[in-house]
Structure 1
Amino acid sequence: MKNKKLVFFTLVIIVAAFVAAITVYKINTKNSLAAYKDTNNAPFVRENSYSFGENKANVVIVEYMDPQCPPCKVFNSVVNDILKQYYKDVKFVVRYLANHDNSAYVIKILEASRAQNKYKQTLDVVFKYQEQWADPLNPRPELIWQYLSKTDLDMEKFKKDFLSIDISDMLEQDYEDATTLGVQGTPTFFVNGKELETLSYKAFFDLVEKEIFE
């Protein structure tokens, strides 16, 4: 019985220490984020970061995402709803964390689409068919070209642009900025420098609307 009580109290102490460490980490992260006043500049945004929106309300939303990340696919629909409703009010910025084996390849596809101003269309296709090309048992990222060929993209130009660009510096910079901002995984969102702490539809909209209307 004494041993069981000892184990129980040891677990309680470990859990309490873990919770305390997480709390301290969050406080330190918030304090460090507060030091960056200009959320439309580094480390939140870089010159080569792709963005959407007219930003008339001066609200900058930054997403760290990975095109092979299943939660990023889920939240793409939330992002689309926010852009549909508040496109004129916000600036939505995409940053990358290439955490999966085929992420860099797909990010290069996304970046190549910018030459035809088809980034969002390409991103939606990438997420729509993510379960097919990113099947963990048989990943085939090259399938994305097949799906994109059904769109209005100039595929010959697209493939040339894909072969000619180098995204290594961008990925390295995004990783360094993510580290600076305390990003732990994808998707991670910042709205005017405030991190979205709960990944839910309501929490996301609440944070965006608070920044727009208050």
Structure 2
Amino acid sequence: MNRRLVVSLTVLIAIAAFGGGAYWYSSQKALEAAAVPAVESTLVRPHSPILGRIDAPVTIVEFLDPSCEACRAFYPLVKDVLATYPDDVRIVIRYTPFHEGSDEVVRILEAARKQDKFEPVLTALMAKQPEWAVHGQPDLKRAWVIAEEVGLDLMAARLESVKPEVDKVLKADIADVEANKVQQTPTFFVNGKPLVDFSREGFVALVKGEIDRVR
């Protein structure tokens, strides 16, 4: 094999190796980007609970108070939108503990998240909200029991609920409530756009408009 042929083969091998390496690198970067829940902002934080596909192109941020009657009324609609557009939409929950006792219910939800029970516990607490969210006199023992009824390990959850990490989540979310001037619950943002027409029709229209825009 002459020298010129050897050099040519060496160059070709180097190019192939570089191309393969570049492809592997770009693929890894794409996977890493898909694994990131969201760019951190005052609307979405790395600790924020997410319902739906983590990499969905449309992000609905809900500032939610688990004791809020309007949040309970909107919750089935939020779940319906998620079921209707499972590949397009994700829900990001931001805690907004305006009512008395809501901060402890947030602690229940955070403990449930550690046990991969966030969604069933949230759904149960919303469905049975009238049983525990009595304004001025919340029955928080009942809230714990409701969470246990859908599979929460109560002993482990109580220990988890008082950890400093949960304090930090509450503190961060309350700060972002103030930063975004949230004064009522639920408050929605869809891909950063606030819901102005606060109605079922307005909510669906805003979500559908964003889905159409990104497709």
TM-score per shorter chain, which class? 0.7 to 0.9
Partner of 2:193: 194
Aligned AA (1:200): S
Change (3 A) 1:176 1:163: closer
Change (3 A) 1:57 1:212: farther
Structure 1 length-normalised TM: 0.75
Structure 2, gaps ≥5 residues long: 1-37
What RMSD over aligned residues (CA atoms) do the two structures have, in Å? 1.9
Give the Cα separation in 1 of the matches to 2:139 and 2:98.
16
Partner of 2:49: 50
Give the Cα separation in 2 of the matches to 1:205 and 1:46.
24
Q: Give 1:55 deviation, angstroms.
A: 5.4
Give the Cα separation in 2 of the matches to 1:169 and 1:152.
25
1:98 aligns with 2:106: no
1:108 aligns with 2:110: no
Structure 2 length-normalised TM: 0.75
Q: Give 1:165 deviation, angstroms.
A: 5.3
Aligned AA (1:82): V
Change (3 A) 1:137 1:192: closer
Give the Cα separation in 1 of the matches to 2:101 and 2:87.
34
More deviation, 116-125/55-64: 55-64
Partner of 1:135: 134
Aligned AA (1:72): C
Q: Secondary structure at the match of 1:61?
A: strand
TM-superposition CA deviations, 1:67-125 (whole Å, max 9, x none) = 11111111111111111111221121000111111010000000000111111111011
Partner of 2:3: none
Give the Cα separation in 1 of the matches to 2:163 and 2:186.
28
Partner of 1:68: 67
Aligned AA (1:101): E
Change (3 A) 1:143 1:165: farther
Structure 1, gaps ≥5 residues long: 1-38
Q: Secondary structure at the match of 2:185?
A: coil
Change (3 A) 1:70 1:194: same
Partner of 1:144: 143
1:112, 1:165 within 8 Å by CA — same for their partners in 2?
no
Q: Give 1:169 deviation, angstroms.
A: 2.2
Partner of 2:77: 78
Partner of 2:179: 180
Q: Which has the higher contact order (CA 8 A, sep 6+)?
A: 1
Give the Cα separation in 1 of the matches to 2:111 and 2:54.
25
1:52, 1:87 within 8 Å by CA — same for their partners in 2?
no
The percent of aligned pairs where both chains have the same amino acid is 35
Q: Give 1:197 deviation, angstroms.
A: 1.1
Change (3 A) 1:176 1:59: same
Specify the structure having the higher radius of gyration (Cα): 2
Partner of 1:41: 40
Q: Secondary structure at the match of 2:149?
A: coil
Aligned AA (1:212): I
Aligned AA (1:196): L
Q: Secondary structure at the match of 2:91?
A: strand
